[in-house]
A = this chain, B = another copy of it.
């Protein structure tokens, strides 16, 4: 592993690279990025969330990427870069100043590779990596320390398993996929048939397809399909500790926040935004461009794009206990109320 330090450049150069408009002193030299409240005059910051707008006037940042409408508020900055998508342009600039972490290809002497596996000479295998039978690892792929590939798995070009990722069986990863530590893909789905004597395990014979440009957070689990595959289309982004059950399909460009659980055979559309700790029942269909708010239980299919919710409101516990006690008898209360209302109308 070799590390090159990023180099300083002028605000005008950054703006030219990304097609941004410069207001103020474009010669301002930028050495790195920071938050509005933490930036020094040698750093660039950004405003993308209106909640931080009040920090704009007092920020010491040398340059700030922001929306045209906010430019006049950055009274302290030597320079502003006007963008139609400040967060994305900040991300592009930050990537330039990130540590250039170049991972060299090669197989660590402790890696254990099955005879029937095929590892590109352009791939990197870290310490204590295990690659099982009939696996293939493409050029530019990085298997970080402690990662384990079971059987019949494929890791595409420039895909990275940061560390301690497990691909169990029949997992195909596309190109430029990023998997964080603790991820488990391709473990058996939860398939059980009840009998008089207890459970019979239903063999889980499908695989998992993770398409190009997906990212999967720490300790997230994606089960293999029962017969057909579990599928993530391209550019799906999963946060930490998400559970994806067997035969789920997640559409391209959908992003899901931490701790959400998706039960078996559900199909989620493209460009959906699903918040954290959501539960999605099995065998449902969710349309494209659906937004689901945190801690909602999705118990039926969603056919129209839009925003959906269903988490109970938080209150001081004393008030909530009273309200919850009424909720337990809401139907009776409603019946009584409707009877009164009807009598009233009948008058």
For the complex formed, measure the closest distance between the CB of A266 and the CB atoms of chain B, giving whole angstroms: 12
A117 CA to B294 CA in the complex, in Å?
41
Q: Are A237 and B192 in contact (CB under 8 A)?
A: yes
Cβ of A311: which chain B residues have Cβ within 8 Å of it? 279, 297, 299, 310, 312
Cβ of A145: which chain B residues have Cβ within 8 Å of it? 112, 130, 132, 148
Q: A residues 305-347 with Cβ under 8 Å of B?
A: 306-331, 333-334, 336-338, 340-341, 343-344
Cβ of A20: which chain B residues have Cβ within 8 Å of it? none
A238-263 vs B, CB cutoff 8 Å, 1 = contact: the mask equals 01110101000000110101110101
> Would you call A133 an interface residue if the criterion is a C-beta within 8 Å of the partner chain's C-beta atoms?
yes
Q: Are A221 and B240 in contact (CB under 8 A)?
A: yes
A330 CA to B313 CA in the complex, in Å?
12
The size of the chain A interface, using a CB distance under 8 A, is 134
**One of B87, B227, B325 near A193 (C-beta < 8 A):** B87
Cβ of A294: which chain B residues have Cβ within 8 Å of it? 263, 279, 281, 297, 299
Which of A7-15, A22-30, A73-81, A92-100 forms contacts with chain B? A92-100
For the complex formed, measure the closest distance between the CB of A264 and the CB atoms of chain B, giving whole angstroms: 9
Question: Nearest B residue to A291 by beta-carbon distance?
Answer: B317
Question: Nearest B residue to A109 by beta-carbon distance?
Answer: B112
Q: Are A91 and B312 in contact (CB under 8 A)?
A: no
> Would you call A200 an interface residue if the criterion is a C-beta within 8 Å of the partner chain's C-beta atoms?
yes
Q: Are B198 and A187 in contact (CB under 8 A)?
A: no
Q: Are A88 and B166 in contact (CB under 8 A)?
A: no
For the complex formed, measure the closest distance between the CB of A241 and the CB atoms of chain B, giving whole angstroms: 5
For the complex formed, measure the closest distance between the CB of A274 and the CB atoms of chain B, giving whole angstroms: 12
For the complex formed, measure the closest distance between the CB of A265 and the CB atoms of chain B, giving whole angstroms: 9
For the complex formed, measure the closest distance between the CB of A124 and the CB atoms of chain B, giving whole angstroms: 14
Cβ of A198: which chain B residues have Cβ within 8 Å of it? 213, 234-235, 252-253
Known A299-B294, A325-B331; contact A258-B253, beta-carbon cutoff 8 A: no
A299 CA to B245 CA in the complex, in Å?
27
> Would you call A181 an interface residue if the criterion is a C-beta within 8 Å of the partner chain's C-beta atoms?
yes
A329 CA to B331 CA in the complex, in Å?
11
> Would you call A267 an interface residue if the criterion is a C-beta within 8 Å of the partner chain's C-beta atoms?
no
> Would you call A168 an interface residue if the criterion is a C-beta within 8 Å of the partner chain's C-beta atoms?
yes
For the complex formed, measure the closest distance between the CB of A141 and the CB atoms of chain B, giving whole angstroms: 18
Cβ of A217: which chain B residues have Cβ within 8 Å of it? 187-188, 190, 221
A239 CA to B151 CA in the complex, in Å?
22
A192-227 vs B, CB cutoff 8 Å, 1 = contact: the mask equals 111100111111010000000101011101010001
Q: Are A300 and B314 in contact (CB under 8 A)?
A: yes
**One of B180, B299, B308 near A184 (C-beta < 8 A):** B180
Q: Are A327 and B316 in contact (CB under 8 A)?
A: no
A-B contact pairs, 5 of them (CB 8 A): A101-B151, A181-B187, A190-B257, A240-B245, A312-B312
